[in-house]
Homo-oligomer: A and B are copies of this chain.
Amino acid sequence: MEHLHQSFTIKFEYNVYFTTGLFDTANTLFSDFLLKNNTAEVQRKIFFVVDSGVAEAHPELNTQLKDYFYAHPGIQLIPDILIVPGGEGVKNDPIYFEQVVEAVNTYGIDRHSYIAAIGGGSVLDMVGYAAAVSHRGIKHIRIPTTVLSQNDSGIGVKNGINYFGKKNFLGTFAPPVVVFNDDSFLLTLSDRDWRSGISEAIKVALIKDAEFFTWLENNAALLVQRDMPTMNYLVWRCAQLHIEHIASKDPFESGSSRPLDFGHWSAHKLEYLSNFEVRHGEAVAMGIALDTVYSQLSGRLSVNDSNRVIKLLQNLGFDIIHPLLEVHRDDSPILTGFEEFREHLGGQLTIMLLTAIGVGEEVHEVDVELLKQAGKLLHNLQHQQVQ
């Protein structure tokens, strides 16, 4: 019998808005979005999940949300707001995923209602996953509150939770319906979290945009001083580069190429080995340092370019190496990270290295000896600086 052939395309679209004071009643950005997407016939609901770190730093948020939806009716705010712990822990224990799924059931949140998440990348990843699999996908609104989530994780198409101690073992590709980046959230970040997300901007600059890298070098001091207009530009440009990259390549990663994961293979492993004491962005900074120096030692990148990268990281206050990342020993746990990364990717190891600032190159082999040397070199550099 003749075989049947199925073929169709699905279009995904969303906007990323930038604003200050998203839930000030005078700010209609959010309500405009909801109104525009509302069809008269149905009563839609919106359910909020909030990062505990945000809730603590913004005790007014709860009241603000209620006032906002009172002032802008047309959608039913579920008055119970779910607070979940901020940070990686929320992705490690499936109980939080369960809480969101349970809320979908309890409050009768349907496929045309919204689940909005306000928080860092960890909370967004977990809530995004729960929304994606409830009723086969509830509309998801992201309101990222960290630098990292505003310029990278919150504006992309991936979600996930950790399982078997492995990062993002469970997850889906599920674009949000809209993203709102509100810079007033960034004011309350710890210095650590303010800094942490900057590494994703360095990452994307290094493989895509030499000019942006120079801009980062020139503005490192202002970033350290927490100058908001400078951070606003960084977030915007970094988000733009990510958005463009996702659309231009293979959004749902059906191939094995993951160029945007520069510096990430060791970062993921380090986060895990450190029991998530090391933040994602901090681990990425160290991963960038490792893969940059490896690029230099393997003859791809000039010493000068390599030094510029290390210097920028250090000027921003990043550690460039972690004891767990020093790959001196053959049984170094970080080396087993390769195997896991390969598995997660799908069999073939593909790692991005640098041939110049702004120019990446994909390689499929890694020389373990050079990697060890890179670790040693970084150890010495870090040590010098500390003295």
A16 engages B41 (CB within 8 Å):
no
For the complex formed by this chain, how many copies does it contain in all?
2
* A110 contact set on B, CB distance < 8 A: 342-347
CB of A306 to closest CB in B, whole Å: 29
With an 8 A cutoff between CB atoms, is A338 at the interface?
Answer: no
With an 8 A cutoff between CB atoms, is A3 at the interface?
Answer: yes
CA distance A156 to B36 in the complex (A): 32
A2-44 CB mask vs B (1 if < 8 Å, else 0) is: 1111111111111111100000000000000000000101111
* A170 contact set on B, CB distance < 8 A: 101, 133-134
A110-149 CB mask vs B (1 if < 8 Å, else 0) is: 1111000000000000000100111111000000000000
B348 engages A41 (CB within 8 Å):
yes
Answer whether A12 and B9 are a contact pair too, CB < 8 Å, given A137-B173, A232-B1, A343-B110: yes
Within 8 Å by CB of A10, from B137, B158, B252, B344, lies: B252
CA distance A333 to B172 in the complex (A): 35
With an 8 A cutoff between CB atoms, is A191 at the interface?
Answer: no
A14 engages B6 (CB within 8 Å):
yes
With an 8 A cutoff between CB atoms, is A247 at the interface?
Answer: yes
* A66 contact set on B, CB distance < 8 A: none
B4 engages A155 (CB within 8 Å):
yes
CA distance A236 to B4 in the complex (A): 9
* A133 contact set on B, CB distance < 8 A: 129, 133, 170-172
12 further A-B contacts with Cβ under 8 Å, apart from A1-B232, A101-B169, are A4-B155, A4-B243, A6-B12, A9-B9, A10-B12, A41-B348, A41-B364, A110-B344, A111-B256, A111-B346, A135-B171, A137-B252
